[in-house]
Amino acid sequence: MTSHTQTATAPRDQLTEGEVVLTVTGLDVDIRTPKGVLRAVNNVSFEARAGRTLALLGESGCGKSMTAKAVAGLLDPVADVTGGTVVLNGTDLAALTPKQRLKYAGPELGIVFQDALTALNPVYTVGTQLGEAFRIHQGLSKKAAKVKAIELMRHVGIPQPESRVDSFPHQFSGGMRQRILIAMAVALGPRLLIADEPTTALDVTVQAQIMKLLRDLRTESHMAVVLITHDLALVAEEADTVAVMYAGNVVETGPVREVFGSPKHPYTRGLLDSVPADVGRGADLKSIAGSPPELHRIPEGCVYQSRCPLVQDVCRAIRPALEPEGTNRTVACHFSASSDTKELDNV
């Protein structure tokens, strides 16, 4: 325990690019529901490195947000982490008590949510909400915290921060609110920033602004960014590495260019084929048949078996483990070797 406290209070050393900031190993999250206990996140492992962006990619309900919340310690009361470790800068967050965790993870980990309007308290000014982190973690006075808040607002590109610091969240546009949320997340200079669908509610021109801001902040402080999204194109443009999730499991990881360039898992391949592009207008897209299984109907064996064109008996019996593929990739598929060849097209 003492070592944790020491780490938390130790002077902050500058991050070097590429250094591992977060290691998640074998994370399990269970949800208690009227229909029984469901496994929402199953044996999820990934790493986030300083100055890099890791994308957690998946469709709705695949457990990507649940994973992020588990890492940040923000799970709903009905959900529990039932296995695995979450190591942030050498400290296992899962082993900390909630109080220790708050003290340690508060400054070290920032999180940005999708819906900025509900993530901000409507009855406090943005200045108060931005200054709160400084007052709690650095014991600053109200006045000093406000000065810090103005500084932060300028940092994230909010015009006229001096006059807007006393405004309420609803007086800002969607893009500006998202900037405020980002400012709150990076206020204490975290080593890890989790961005959970940060631009899904925004228009594409504003999305470009927000992603540029996140990129700039990352370059500046070498923090690690975990970007959670369902948008393949966004991953292609913003992330260095990607972990593709399906039905609570990670099915493929690796550098974005390699994964998207030659996907090894049939699901990744199917997703990429589903993206509408100029493949002859009016031509059919190669869609994935069916829809993802509900949590209480996830089959034994491979999670993707019900929609997979390569499915065999072994897939229904044994769930494939995430195995290394080449130097820096992993895939959870019995037939990963064949899934990037012509065979898939012929099925």
Residues 59-118 close enough to bind other proteins by CB under 8 A: 59-60, 80-85, 92, 94-95
Q: State which residue, 187 or 235, has the beta carbon closest to other proteins.
A: 235
Q: Which of residues 304-333 bind other proteins (CB under 8 A)?
A: 305-309, 311, 316
Q: Considering only 1-9, 188-196, 201-209, 325-333, which stretch makes contact with other proteins by CB under 8 A?
A: 201-209
- Chain Cα centroid distance, residue 39: 19
- List of long-range contacts for 312-316, beta carbons under 8 Å, 24+ apart: none
Q: State which residue, 59 or 132, has the beta carbon closest to other proteins.
A: 59
Sorted by sequence, the CB contacts under 8 Å of residue 268 that are 6+ apart come out as 244, 251, 252, 259, 260
Hey, CA dihedral for 235, 332, 330, 83, is it positive or negative? positive
Q: Which of residues 239-278 bind other proteins (CB under 8 A)?
A: 256-257, 260-262, 270-278
Per-residue mark of binding to other proteins, 146-185 (x: CB under 8 A)? ---------------------------xxxx---------
- One of 298, 331, 332, 333 touching other proteins (CB under 8 A): 298
Sorted by sequence, the CB contacts under 8 Å of residue 281 that are 6+ apart come out as none
Asked if 337 touches other proteins (CB under 8 A), the answer is no
Q: How deeply is 307 buried, as exposed, middle or buried, from its count of CB atoms within 10 A (0-12, 13-18, 19+)?
A: middle
Asked if 231 touches other proteins (CB under 8 A), the answer is yes
Asked if 198 touches other proteins (CB under 8 A), the answer is no
Count interface residues toward other proteins (CB under 8 A). Answer: 87
Q: State which residue, 188 or 201, has the beta carbon closest to other proteins.
A: 201
Cα–Cα separations (whole angstroms), residue 246 to 40, 58, 239, 243: 10, 6, 19, 10
Q: Which of residues 129-148 bind other proteins (CB under 8 A)?
A: none
245: enclosing H helix or E strand? strand 241-246
The string of DSSP letters for 19-76 reads -EEEEEEEEEEEEEETTEEEEEEEEEEEEEETT-EEEEE--TTSSHHHHHHHHHT---
Q: Considering only 8-16, 122-130, 182-190, 296-304, which stretch makes contact with other proteins by CB under 8 A?
A: 296-304
Nearest to 94 by CA among 2, 21, 4: 4
Residue indicated by tokens 């947000």: 65
- One of 151, 162, 220, 294 touching other proteins (CB under 8 A): 294
Q: What does residue 16 show for φ and ψ, rounded to 5 degrees? A: -100, 140
Q: Considering only 48-56, 141-149, 189-197, 284-292, which stretch makes contact with other proteins by CB under 8 A?
A: 284-292
Q: Considering only 13-21, 45-53, 121-129, 230-238, which stretch makes contact with other proteins by CB under 8 A?
A: 230-238
Q: How deeply is 75 buried, as exposed, middle or buried, from its count of CB atoms within 10 A (0-12, 13-18, 19+)?
A: middle
Q: State which residue, 15 or 93, has the beta carbon closest to other proteins.
A: 93
Q: State which residue, 134 or 172, has the beta carbon closest to other proteins.
A: 172
Nearest distance in Å: CB 152, other proteins = 20
